[in-house]
Structure 1
Amino acid sequence: MPEDATTSKRPATDAALDFPVIFLLSANLGSQEIQDLEDQIPTLTYDIDEAEVVLGKVFRKERALFELRKHKLATGEVDPAERSPTTSREKKRAKLAAPALPSSDVDSDTSTDGEGEKSLVGRAAATAAGSTVKVVKLPWLTDSIRAGEVLPLGDYIVYEGRKLPKTPEQTPQPPAEKAAEVMRRALADASGSPGSSRPKSSHWKRAEALSSSPIRPALLRETTPEHDLDVHLPPIPDYLRTTYSCQRPTPMNPPNEGFIAELTKIKTARTLMGDKVGVRAYSTAIATVAAYPHLLQTAPEVARLPGCGTKIAVLFQEFSATGQVAEAQQDTSDPKLSVLRLFYSIWGVAETTARDFYNRGWRDLDDVVEYGWDTLTRVQQIGVKHHDELQLAIPRAEVEAIAAAVLAHAEALRAGFRMVVVGGYRRGKSESGDVDVLLSHPDETATRDFVGSLVVSLENAGLVTHTLSLSMTNSERGQVPVSWKGNAGKKLGQAGFDTLDKAMVVWQEPAAGSAQPNPNPHRRVDIIVSPWRTAGCAVLGWSGGTTFQRDIRRWCKRERGLKFDSSGVRSRKDGAWVDLESGPGGKPAPDMLTAEKRVFEGLGLVWREPGERCTG
């Protein structure tokens, strides 16, 4: 394994840049482009009200104003001659020119966390109504990273505006100011007399930031007992002081399942609406809360967690008071989202297609059948036909029975096959939405062109009723680990999260006797076949939660200079395959689980059991 392939790190200049708080606009950006840009912004926020800079593919003031209005941020334009400094160099000059503040006014909660990033909670007070926000062209970020310093905004600024107070339409809950005042008085009672002139504590600053948050629900109250709890918050575990969920143990049943369920509803709504930035924001917050080992008790406790900040803290304060989050409940009951959820649940229908169905005027499955059947793909037609059955959860015992049948047919065709049941089953779910079976064989001649023969055998046995997708990409290239060619011209089979041979099928157990129609439900089954040399990557790639898998790829890219997917690891330097699974002298791993552990070790990650990868 080339030394530079595993020891290359994120450039020190990138990590050290003191960017202002940045909100990234998703308009005109692809999902991969958004992910790449987010990885480069250490001060990224998903709440535009907290932002000092709004960054995007925006080149005209009119478009900038449109984007701010779309995100419900009201501003008044600032004269260019009055523009405030933004870069660290400009801030230092302004600081030298400004009179010094009394020591009692110094914010004691501005220390950096374990990764050197400034707390968004600590910044919240500085981004309240009256501060400015700048809409900036995207090249400012890339040029700054290339230069190794935060460049002056100068000609990059498209628009600068002063943040205006929220209107009644933007702040629909009128008791907010009163609630904030109640919290401030409660905090004053807890810390001394209202007229006390002693320096404000870190807790006061966090609470004050929350009370001045642009999102002002009527639940922003903190009693004295709650204040006492904040003073004695449990320490954040070291493993949570990272933005990579693949470095943390995340259990199947975390202490804060109720709150996570509410956040998941909001994330699903963002998915259906095509809000890719929002989906990533909530995915990150959910993964963090799921890894937190203590029962959350107060909003400041949430706000200090990486990837959460004031937005998630405010939602938690609402949840702790009412047992639910209003936004999640509204999303659940929204008629349009209910229809989109129905269409999205059809196998073969992604969120974009679900919105297209809705825009055609369809409102249920009958409409899809009556008005659009001939426009559906074959896979979508099967998804509609067996929709209700495919929504049924599959108990673990049935998952095991299906997997055993697949292995038995594989062994009948060629002895010596090994199997791992991956997906949610391997993480410990009591019920699964589908069955994911991974097969490999120590003799790589056995796995080449094997998946097609296996599917035919299962069809002849009456177990597979439909083949939704059959990919033989790995066999077509001779099972040689494909080199990574960057973002240039993907060839057939190189798109997606791996290039393994796989079959996605519909399964139905034969009826007992000759009963007709068959009463057994149809099930979704994925059969993946991996060559032995990359079986560890395959097991890892098919075993983690979605955010865990996302962060494995992000970790490899940012920290190791590698490209990871289920079909192997490649160097981003020269595109060559990197062998992490062979032992001394190139000896193959004795089994697939040993190979998976070697991949963890080779990537510089602590081994996590499958039951600790439940990030959602």
Structure 2
Amino acid sequence: MTLDFPVIFLLSTHLGSEELQQLEDQIPTLTYDINEAEVVLGKVFRKERALFELRRLKLDTTEVAPAERSPTPSPRPSKRIRLSTPALSVLGSSDIESDTCSEGEIQRRLIGPKKPVDPTVKVVKLAWFTKSIEAGEVLPMTEYIVYEGRKIPKEKPKPRPEPEDIMRRALADASSSPSRPRSSYGHSGNSHKRTTYDTHPVVPSKRPPPLLHQTTSEHDIDEHLPPIPAYLHTTYSCQRPSPIHPPNEAFIEELLKIRTARTLMGDKIGVRAYSSAIATVTAYPYEIQTPSEVARLPGCGAKIAGLFQEFKETGFLFEAREDETDPKLAVLKQFYEIWGVGEGTAREFYNKGWRDLDDIIEHGWNSLIRVQQIGVKYYDEFLIKIPRKEVEQISEVILAHANKIRKGFEMVIVGGYRRGKKESGDVDVILSHRDEEATAGFVERIVISLENDKYITHTLSLTTKNTERGQVPVAWKGSMSKVPGTGFDTLDKALVVWQEPGNKKNLHRRVDIIISPWKTAGCAVLGWTSGTTFQRDLRRYCKKEKNLKFDSSGVRSRVDGSWVDLESDGKGNPAPDMLTAERRIFDKLGLEWRPPEERCTN
């Protein structure tokens, strides 16, 4: 039975990506528009923090005195839909729009006239929701309220025209133009011309309003759109082909820049939403020609359609150029590019008043961890991409040293190189041996060997968690959960700085050396090869569809926490090589095989 919760907006603050996804799936009345919310739910425990979150989300309120508070939310219609669902839209906060019609139209069709938005909002501790779920009823929230405020109405903006109205007006005065031939994989590639983008356009001071106008020829094209491939109707990008050079690559590059900006600003919901939209557009096998062609794609909707219209007219997206007009975003982007600095640390540096690398060196050098110090020291060198030939040369040296220590080691170069990139940001290699005793503690031995021959200049991180627990695949819960070295991706690995010896002018490179036991090497290769969204959706697929937990160190049952062998044959014989082991995982998970070149989900 679905519980009758008030309309809830979920704060992403202090929530991990998996926890956030799980909570979103559990909330039946979730909205992504805080102005609609009756309850703002999150890990918030002080009124000051609650006020900060409301200000950050641009919701102005005046506090309601405790004596004036109502113990329960105002009554709502018995039949309610989720106001802004991921199925209908993919963007958080104010970006949310319906895929095919306005919110008002959805309300009229499904639940009648739209209910007035509640004039008050309560910021409530997450425990109220979780305990309500456990109890099977909506509990009184009085003791969980952190803050209650009355919403201050904003000045009413001019009504935004619906996409359908814009289309109709555009058709009335459209002029015909010849339609372009459609193209699919193998034909269009990088055919989209980015004339304005390639010449570094001058960014306007104000963003032009998006207008979804349509010419007569575009209308004719929409009448004969190709069918959406069946694989695009799944929510899992691990079930789709995602090529390295999709037909709409130029548009995707612009969306990636917006996603980076959302990452830097801490918008977790927006980041995941853009990731989903990017994954969909990447897997779409035709060059997009009209905004309405975008709007019909699962996980896109009117927002992405509007961005495509802007891109089509200008060759770039204004929001993707914000780092050129917003000084704060430009600084955050530079800090984020430092090896060892994530988005949270970048914001922390900015809040300390630092505005460039010199400020970090002058005012904060001693507060940096060693990885960050190295990242600052070799900042310019690490930004220079590594050609495929150099990746292969570095990998050959690593394999030669491995076999010099112990014969029989095999290696797979993973990461962007295996997905087909011409240049890589770093070098990722996986080493394995058919004798399990050979891989135990081996990461330390190979690092020492490479250091002695002057290839490794700095060892930034060296973990031996897999060796410490006897190379037994770790259970995700249960009796083994307290064994040292448990957690996500518990393989032995070393993150090092590499420099070809003999000339101090040779560039410093980032290299990751991963050691995997043979029995789970396929999982290591699969995890370290695939694009970020592909990996995320593979874990989600295993959880939702198979009740399994996947990571690069193995697959475990979510029922009893035991290791699930997906790499041996039917008789228990190990795979003949690491690539065969990887294929078997696809097969036993019920997934169609996707070669590395089709796992480029960014």
Q: Which residue of the partner structure matches residue 587 of structure 1? A: 573
How far, CA to CA, are the matches of 1:61 and 1:597 in structure 2?
53
Q: Which residue of the partner structure matches residue 169 of structure 2? A: 185
SS of alignment partner, residue 383 of structure 1: helix
C-alpha distance 181-478 of structure 1, shift in aligned 2 (>3 A): closer
Kept in 2, the 8 Å contact 1:20–1:86? The answer is no
Q: Which residue of the partner structure matches residue 501 of structure 2? A: 510
Residue type matched to 2:425 in 1? G
Is the deviation greater in 44-53 or in 375-384? Answer: 44-53
How far 1:493 moved relative to its partner? 3.0
Q: Which residue of the partner structure matches residue 124 of structure 1? A: 103
After superposition, residues 386-465 of structure 1 pair within 5 angstroms as 386-465=378-457
How many residue pairs align between the two structures? 540
SS of alignment partner, residue 529 of structure 2: coil
Residue type matched to 1:604 in 2? G
After superposition, residues 80-91 of structure 1 pair within 5 angstroms as 83=74, 85-88=76-79
Residue type matched to 2:396 in 1? A
Is the deviation greater in 485-494 or in 375-384? Answer: 485-494
Q: Does 1:247 align with 2:226?
A: no
C-alpha distance 493-133 of structure 1, shift in aligned 2 (>3 A): farther
Q: Which residue of the partner structure matches residue 84 of structure 2? A: none
Q: Which residue of the partner structure matches residue 610 of structure 1? A: 596
How far, CA to CA, are the matches of 1:119 and 1:456 in structure 2?
57
Q: Which residue of the partner structure matches residue 329 of structure 1? A: 321
Is the deviation greater in 159-168 or in 407-416? Answer: 159-168
Q: Which residue of the partner structure matches residue 253 of structure 2? A: 261
Q: Which residue of the partner structure matches residue 213 of structure 2? A: 221
Q: Deviations over 1:514-543 (max 9, x none)?
A: x5xx11100000000000010010001101
After superposition, residues 135-534 of structure 1 pair within 5 angstroms as 167=156, 183-186=167-170, 217-485=209-477, 492-495=484-487, 497-511=488-502, 518-534=504-520
How far, CA to CA, are the matches of 2:223 and 2:132 in structure 1?
39
How far, CA to CA, are the matches of 1:252 and 1:418 in structure 2?
26
How far 1:232 moved relative to its partner? 2.4
Is the deviation greater in 432-441 or in 363-372? Answer: 363-372
Q: Which residue of the partner structure matches residue 533 of structure 2? A: 547
SS of alignment partner, residue 530 of structure 1: strand
Kept in 1, the 8 Å contact 2:412–2:525? The answer is yes
Residue type matched to 2:451 in 1? E
- Which one has more relative contact order, counting CA pairs under 8 Å at least 6 apart? 1
Is the deviation greater in 18-27 or in 30-39? Answer: 18-27
Kept in 2, the 8 Å contact 1:389–1:521? The answer is yes
Q: Percent identity?
A: 64
Is the deviation greater in 502-511 or in 332-341? Answer: 332-341
How far, CA to CA, are the matches of 1:22 and 1:411 in structure 2?
58
How far 1:269 moved relative to its partner? 1.0
Kept in 1, the 8 Å contact 2:12–2:20? The answer is yes
How far, CA to CA, are the matches of 1:123 and 1:68 in structure 2?
26
How far, CA to CA, are the matches of 1:300 and 1:361 in structure 2?
45
Kept in 2, the 8 Å contact 1:265–1:331? The answer is no
SS of alignment partner, residue 526 of structure 2: helix
Task: Structure 2 unaligned segments of length 5 or more: list them.
Answer: 82-86, 89-96, 108-112, 175-206
Q: Which residue of the partner structure matches residue 578 of structure 1? A: 564
How far 1:238 moved relative to its partner? 0.5
C-alpha distance 608-222 of structure 1, shift in aligned 2 (>3 A): same
C-alpha distance 133-598 of structure 1, shift in aligned 2 (>3 A): farther
How far, CA to CA, are the matches of 1:61 and 1:232 in structure 2?
55
How far, CA to CA, are the matches of 1:227 and 1:50 in structure 2?
35
How far 1:44 moved relative to its partner? 6.6
SS of alignment partner, residue 209 of structure 2: coil
Q: Deviations over 1:474-517 (max 9, x none)?
A: 1111111111117997664334x300000111000012xxx5xx
How far, CA to CA, are the matches of 2:232 and 2:4 in structure 1?
22
How far, CA to CA, are the matches of 2:238 and 2:570 in structure 1?
27
Q: Deviations over 1:122-166 (max 9, x none)?
A: 453347997545668667876887799xx8899799889999786
How far 1:57 moved relative to its partner? 5.5
How far, CA to CA, are the matches of 1:72 and 1:226 in structure 2?
38
SS of alignment partner, residue 501 of structure 2: coil
How far, CA to CA, are the matches of 1:52 and 1:231 in structure 2?
42
Is the deviation greater in 46-55 or in 447-456? Answer: 46-55
SS of alignment partner, residue 571 of structure 2: helix
How far, CA to CA, are the matches of 2:233 and 2:7 in structure 1?
19
How far, CA to CA, are the matches of 2:52 and 2:367 in structure 1?
36
Q: TM-score, normalised by structure 1?
A: 0.77
Q: Which residue of the partner structure matches residue 109 of structure 1? A: none
Q: Deviations over 1:344-364 (max 9, x none)?
A: 111111112111211222221
How far, CA to CA, are the matches of 1:300 and 1:53 in structure 2?
34
Q: Deviations over 1:404-458 (max 9, x none)?
A: 1100010111111111000000000000000000000111111111111001111
Kept in 2, the 8 Å contact 1:340–1:358? The answer is yes
Residue type matched to 2:398 in 1? V
How far, CA to CA, are the matches of 1:247 and 1:43 in structure 2?
29
Residue type matched to 2:506 in 1? N
Kept in 2, the 8 Å contact 1:580–1:598? The answer is yes
C-alpha distance 413-60 of structure 1, shift in aligned 2 (>3 A): closer
How far 1:330 moved relative to its partner? 2.0
Kept in 2, the 8 Å contact 1:52–1:132? The answer is no
SS of alignment partner, residue 556 of structure 2: strand
How far 1:257 moved relative to its partner? 1.3
Kept in 2, the 8 Å contact 1:133–1:161? The answer is no
How far 1:297 moved relative to its partner? 2.2
Q: Deviations over 1:59-82 (max 9, x none)?
A: 9999988756643468999x9999
Is the deviation greater in 584-593 or in 178-187? Answer: 178-187
Is the deviation greater in 382-391 or in 524-533? Answer: 382-391
Q: Deviations over 1:151-198 (max 9, x none)?
A: 889979988999978645xxxxx79659986544345799xxxxxxxx
SS of alignment partner, residue 100 of structure 2: helix
How far 1:224 moved relative to its partner? 3.5
How far 1:584 moved relative to its partner? 2.1
How far, CA to CA, are the matches of 1:73 and 1:314 in structure 2?
25
C-alpha distance 280-238 of structure 1, shift in aligned 2 (>3 A): same
How far, CA to CA, are the matches of 2:244 and 2:5 in structure 1?
36
Over the residues paired in the alignment, what is the CA RMSD in angstroms? 4.0
How far 1:265 moved relative to its partner? 1.0
How far, CA to CA, are the matches of 2:150 and 2:220 in structure 1?
39
Kept in 2, the 8 Å contact 1:38–1:44? The answer is yes
C-alpha distance 177-285 of structure 1, shift in aligned 2 (>3 A): closer
How far, CA to CA, are the matches of 2:367 and 2:550 in structure 1?
36
How far, CA to CA, are the matches of 1:486 and 1:126 in structure 2?
49
How far 1:317 moved relative to its partner? 2.1
Kept in 1, the 8 Å contact 2:427–2:511? The answer is yes
Q: Which residue of the partner structure matches residue 107 of structure 1? A: none
SS of alignment partner, residue 542 of structure 1: helix
Is the deviation greater in 377-386 or in 123-132? Answer: 123-132
How far, CA to CA, are the matches of 2:100 and 2:131 in structure 1?
28
C-alpha distance 140-422 of structure 1, shift in aligned 2 (>3 A): same
Q: Which residue of the partner structure matches residue 552 of structure 2? A: 566
Q: Deviations over 1:448-471 (max 9, x none)?
A: 111110011111111111111111
Q: Which residue of the partner structure matches residue 10 of structure 1? A: none
Kept in 2, the 8 Å contact 1:46–1:278? The answer is no
Residue type matched to 1:356 in 2? E
How far, CA to CA, are the matches of 1:163 and 1:131 in structure 2?
18
